[in-house]
Every structure is written in C-alpha cells, then in structure tokens.
Structure 1
C-alpha cells in the first residue's frame, strides 16, 4: 500500500471510530454516569482492582483528574478504596457489585445500539466487517503493548483470522483482562 493509501485508510478508520463511539455514546447518557467515569469503571471491571496511579495511567490522565473521577464513582457507590495488601500507605480502587451491574447495563445498551445498526447490512457484509473488525482489534486492542505488523504469507481460507488469533499479541494476555472500548 502506498503512503497515500495508508493515510487515506487511517483517515477513514479515524472517522468511522469517531462516528461509532459517538453513536454508542448516546446510550451512555441513559446510565446517568459520565463518559470519563464509565471509562474508568470499565477499566476496573475488566482489568481488576488497581491503585489510583495505575488507573490514571490506564486512562491516560493525571492523578488529580483520576482522584476526582474516583470520588464521583465512590459517591455513587460504584467503586470503593481498600487497603493495599503489601503497602499500607497505598489504597486499591475496586468496582463494587453495583458498579459492575451499572457498567454491564451501559455496555449492553451500547452493544444493542450497534447491533441494531448492523442489521442494515447483508449477512455477507457482516461477515466481511467481522473480519476487518478482528484486524482492527488485533492492531489497536492492546494499548499496553506496542503495535506489531500483521504477519504476511499465510495461506489458506481464513488465513487473516488465523493469523490474528495465533499472533503473539493475541496469545499473550495482559496481567488483567483489558477493558472493552467504547
């Protein structure tokens, strides 16, 4: 692919991801939890309990910003801070059962919204989109690891999917399960 083609594809993916997140995000308002709080809660639910600093790093914000987000989540009884088992000076932030339920409900609404939109596609278009989505997930789904190029020269039907599933990126699970995007 020539550089202009790569730039054009990157622009298309950028635009599509913004539209997808905006459409899915319309459902988030129904949760009564702001986008930043939902995102932090998602990290805690899917990756597990962590320190405030780790949560801030995972979300790409500074500690004071994450402190305010966590305080809001605590006030809504969606997270709690508990003593760190190895460092008495530190506290761990963890999702409460109410927080897990709230996040799952918000996630379910987003997925239903996206699924409703996908119904407009033919079965063949949905299969093609699934293959492409798997490639996008493979490339961008692990922000804690550097991006790696796709392996080339894999023969046979479904080779791209097999390559994605058998890649070192796909095989090496993070220490904590990663949070779904959106």
Structure 2
C-alpha cells in the first residue's frame, strides 16, 4: 500500500478531497425547494433510502444530537413533508415517514441535479468520461466505508 501521507499520494488525496467537496457543494445547490436546509434535505433522502424511522434512529444516521433531530422533524412536519405516527411496539415513541409531497419534491430535485450534472459531463471528452464512469463505483465504495 502506498504512503498516502507524503509526496504525490498525499497531493492526490488532497486534490480528491478538494474536488469532491467543491462538486458536492455545487450539487447541493441544485434543488427544487430552496427553503429547506441541506440537513433537512438529507433527512428526507435518508427516509427515502432507508424507510420510516424514529427520530432517534434518524439522529444516529444523520450524526446529529436527538434534540436537533426533534426540531428538524418538527419543521419537516410543519411543511407537510413528513408525518408522525405512534410506534407499533412502543407507544412512547413516534415513527417518522416521508409524505407523497416529499417524495415528489425529492424526485424533482434528483431530476434537476442529474440534468445539471449531465450538462457538465457533456463538456468532457470521451477519455475523461470513461475515466469518470470507471471511477464512479470506487467513489461509491469510499462513500460507504
């Protein structure tokens, strides 16, 4: 394994970090509802990906404190993007579920982001596009390690 803390490898790691962060910020701005914070959008995306969850489970998945998640869920509920139901096994808890309105908004945001990104990709030459296509599974792996 290469020494990723020195020389060319360290420079490559730094360049990767910088590029991923810049691209991520630009992609996050391609959303339909500008009134939602990136954290609120992330919670909705987590619900879409993982299904209904308690606020505590969402807090763990989103790496925020439970009181913060309680506030986020309340905001999303006030915007009719999530609903709260009693937990089937523990009536003291609530289960958060995204609404059809949230599903439609997420789908429209995904279409907008993908169209924006496709516009950027069209500016690449064939070799750059093939390199990026080959890198996508590796970047996905890194995102889940």
Alignment of 1:154-173 (within 5 A): none
Structure 2: where are the runs of 5+ without partners?
none
Question: Structure 1 stretches (4+) deviating beyond 6 angstroms?
Answer: none
Give the CA deviation at 1:8: 1.9
Higher RCO by CA contacts (8 Å cutoff, separation 6 or greater): 1
* Corresponding position of 1:40: 43
Distance in 2 (alpha carbons) for counterparts of 1:72 and 1:120: 39
**C-alpha distance after superposition, 1:15-59 (max 9, x if no partner):** 11111112112223x413221111100000111000101101111
Q: Which residue of 1 aligns with 2:33?
A: 31
Deviations for 1:104-138, whole angstroms, at most 9, x for unmatched residues? 11122112111111111112211111111211111
1:31 is paired with a residue of what secondary structure? Answer: coil
| TM-score, length basis structure 1 | 0.73
* CA deviation after TM superposition for structure 1 residue 79, in Å: 0.4
Aligned to 2:98: 95
Q: Does 1:128 align with 2:126?
A: no
| CA distance in 2: counterparts of 1:6 and 1:61, whole angstroms | 33
TM-score for both structures, normalised by structure 2: 0.90
Q: Which residue, 31, 55, 59 being the options, matches 1:56?
A: 59
Partner Cα distance (2:28, 2:142) in 1: 23
For 1:74-106, what per-residue CA distance to the aligned partner results, in whole angstroms no more than 9, with x for missing partners?
011000111111111111101011111111111
Once residues 123 and 81 of structure 1 are traced to their aligned partners in structure 2, the CA distance between those partners, rounded to angstroms, is 48
RMSD (Å), alpha carbons:
1.4
Which sections of structure 1, spanning at least 5 residues, go unmatched? 148-182
Number of paired residues?
A: 141
Q: Quick one: which of 13, 18, 23 aligns to 1:20? A: 23
Most deviating of 90-99 and 103-112: 103-112
Is 1:139 the counterpart of 2:136? The answer is: no
| C-alpha separation in 2, matches of 1:6 and 1:137 | 20
